[in-house]
Amino acid sequence: MTLRGRLTSAFLVVVLGPVLLGSVFVALTANAVSRERTTERLDHAATTVSVAIGAICRQLQASADAVAVVPAGDRQAVADQLVARGLATEIWMTETEQSSLARSAMTGDPAATGHRDCAGPDAGREEATAMTAAAYTREITVTAAQRVDAAMLDRLGASAGVAVRLGESAAAAAGTADRNLSAEPGRPLTLTLTVPAAGPTARYLILLLIVLATAVVAVIAARWLARSTTRPLGDLAWAADRVANGDLDTRVPIPRPDELGRLAGTFNRMTRELQSYVQALTASRDQLRRHLAILGDTLSSTHDLDRILPVILRTAMTATAARAGLILLTDPGDGRLAARCGAGLTGAWDLSPAELTQRRLTPGRGVLGRVAATGTPSRGTSGCVSDEPACDSYLAVPICAPPDEESGPEPTVLGVLALYDRLGGPAFEDADLRTLRTFAGQAGVAVHNVRVHEEAQRLSLTDPLTGLWNYRYLREVLRREVERASRFGRMLTVLVLDLDHFKEVNDTYGHPAGDQVLGEFARRIRIGLREVDVAFRQGGEEFVVLLPETDAYGGVIVAERLGAAVRDWPVPVDPRRPGLADRIPISVSIGIAVFPEHGATAQDVLDAADEALYAAKNAGRDTYRLAERVSPALPEGHLDAATAITGGPQPPRHGRGR
């Protein structure tokens, strides 16, 4: 079936269907209303007739009572007066003992003549002729009667608006509706009420004509609508097929400014916007690929947590529509949770990045502490303790290290990633939990990589025996310290230390004892230095110490202190064979050089300190010497008197002493 045929059929169904249903509904409603009106009319008539007959009965009873209560001599006059006033058709009186004989003599037997007593009707077979009501005294019985005739029935029908006749009707005549009223106390007559039934035949004919006219108009309109609609729709279908095949330059002609014309215009505008969206989406996809590549490179190669963690936190907040977020990592030193970065925090946690990093939480306490202690995510709308960020809802997941053979089946918890107050919703959902787990996994990989990198870097730059920095790191730090001293016009003192007669220690006590001596010597060096000073093992028994912002006099003081610390306390060792002492006395020779006085570059200063070390050894060891050569870059007279020190300290001329 073609589109035109479907449109015609649909239009006819849409138009004629409601018309037909409406016509049927109107016909049924009209019939129901007619029946209801007839029923209401009969109900009203029955009520009116019942009330009227009841009023007649009460009127008869009142007349009988009025005659009965007056003196015997006045009763006849009162009865005649009541009859004259029309309150009763007739009134008679009989003595009590002879009431039945008197009644027969005057009117005959009431039951035989069709009289009906209002108090206790007895519907006989003969037609009712009168309604009666009686009043009794000791002497007489007063009976008031109302004749039932055609005139009375006409009056009843006129008051109720119906036709009234005596007796019951078995079935209503055609075109009429009946209501039977049975005799009952207060209404002694059996009556039939009749009203004409309304006939809706004319209405049905009118409805049929309306339906036929509507059908003719609907057919004509359907054919025109189908013909005027299918052609623009065909053009739209053709254009949509072209667009579906990727030709976004296709446009639809606009025949007229109606709905189909607007649809064609909308299609053309949609095609143009789709074309621009595709271009923008292509550009966005390429940009997203670049960002993902950058993010992947950052997470895999960058070891700066201060860059990685804020990116992860902001991305997690955006993905879950969170108002605020916080990342805490476990401090390897004391095991507490240390805040590393936060965003959107309020109250006591609204701090600068430097202040935020000072906040600490105890594992096992509060929501974040329980997550860190148990490794189980937590989600809710309350329960945050006082020292955690205030919120209406929260979601916290553990940051775990990637599983490996050493960690075993239980993941190692490195910290906690927490989000607060989901925007646009009362609480976080399961989808938010899954999303946050993903970002927590990225954070765990990043933190683990950084710590592995730091440990590998530490192992590659430190001496495993003494724990001091090695020669490789010495070259880098010395170059950096020389550049900084040169930039700010400061001094840098370099000490080169060498243990005296160390080969004899190895030969006599063995290499394990020699390693003990080297370890103890390194420990004494660390004790005798400031936090800013850096010590290195250059190789074998030779060590280097850098003293930033220190002049020659300060270097001499440090050299004397280190020499005394080594000389005064022999190193306890386990003797390799009997007869050897369990303590080894050691001493150290030290060479001192100062930048920029003894060299313009890092290598020049280090070479000057080496030469001073050889001078100390040639002077008998267990002493120190200050470098004698002067950097050619210094102006004449720049070297102060401290450069002439050869065996003991002299007061500083410039720079900061030790």
Do residues 543 and 497 touch, judged by C-beta distance below 8 A? yes
Residue that wins the pLDDT comparison between 198 and 270: 270
Question: What is the Cα gyration radius of the chain?
Answer: 61
Query: Who's near 515: CB < 8 A, 6+ residues apart?
Result: 465
Give tens-digit pLDDT for 265-306. Answer: 888 888 888 888 788 777 756 654 554 455 556 665 566 777
Identify any residues that bridge with 420 across adjacent strands, giving them in sequence order. Answer: 324, 394
Residue that wins the pLDDT comparison between 565 and 7: 565
* CA 592 to mean position of chain CA atoms: 69
Residue 460 corresponds to which amino acid?
Answer: S
Average pLDDT over residues 569-584: 79
Strand pairing category for 140-147 and 90-95: antiparallel
Residue that wins the pLDDT comparison between 305 and 531: 531
Identify any residues that bridge with 92 across adjacent strands, giving them in sequence order. Answer: 143
Identify any residues that bridge with 143 across adjacent strands, giving them in sequence order. Answer: 92, 134
Least confident of 31-35, 539-543, 588-592: 31-35
Average pLDDT over residues 592-596: 94
Q: Of 395, 364, 361, which is closest to residue 378 (Cα–Cα)?
A: 395
Query: Who's near 426: CB < 8 A, 6+ residues apart?
Result: 381, 392, 393
Identity of the highest mean pLDDT range in 106-120, 159-173, 329-343, 614-628: 614-628
Identity of the highest mean pLDDT range in 98-107, 360-369, 423-432: 360-369
Phi/psi-derived region of residue 635, left when phi > 0, alpha when psi is between -120 and 50, beta in every other case: beta
Cα separation of 558 and 525, whole Å? 10
Give tens-digit pLDDT for 369-409. Answer: 889 889 899 988 865 566 888 888 899 999 988 876 555 56
Helix (H) or strand (E) holding 588: strand 588-595
Do residues 214 and 15 touch, judged by C-beta distance below 8 A? yes
Cis peptide before 409 (omega within 30 of 0): no
- Residues counted in the chain: 658
Half-sphere exposure of 21 (CA within 13 A, CB side): 6
Cα separation of 97 and 102, whole Å? 10
What is the per-residue pLDDT for 642?
A: 40
Query: Who's near 322: CB < 8 A, 6+ residues apart?
Result: 316, 344, 395, 419, 420, 421, 422, 423, 428
What is the per-residue pLDDT for 656?
A: 31
> DSSP assignment, residue 500?
T
Residue ranges and CATH numbers for the domains of the chain are 3-196 (no CATH), 200-282 (1.10.8.500), 302-457 (3.30.450.40), 462-644 (3.30.70.270)
> DSSP assignment, residue 72?
G
Residue that wins the pLDDT comparison between 482 and 1: 482
Cα separation of 340 and 346, whole Å? 16
- For the chain, give the mean pLDDT: 80
Do residues 502 and 517 touch, judged by C-beta distance below 8 A? yes
What is the per-residue pLDDT for 62?
A: 92
Do residues 92 and 140 touch, judged by C-beta distance below 8 A? no
pLDDT exceeds cutoff 60 at 105: no
Which pair of structure tokens corresponds to residue 608? Answer: 């000057």
What is the per-residue pLDDT for 152?
A: 87
Q: Of 588, 381, 403, which is closest to residue 496 (Cα–Cα)?
A: 588
Number of neighbouring beta carbons within 10 Å of residue 583: 12
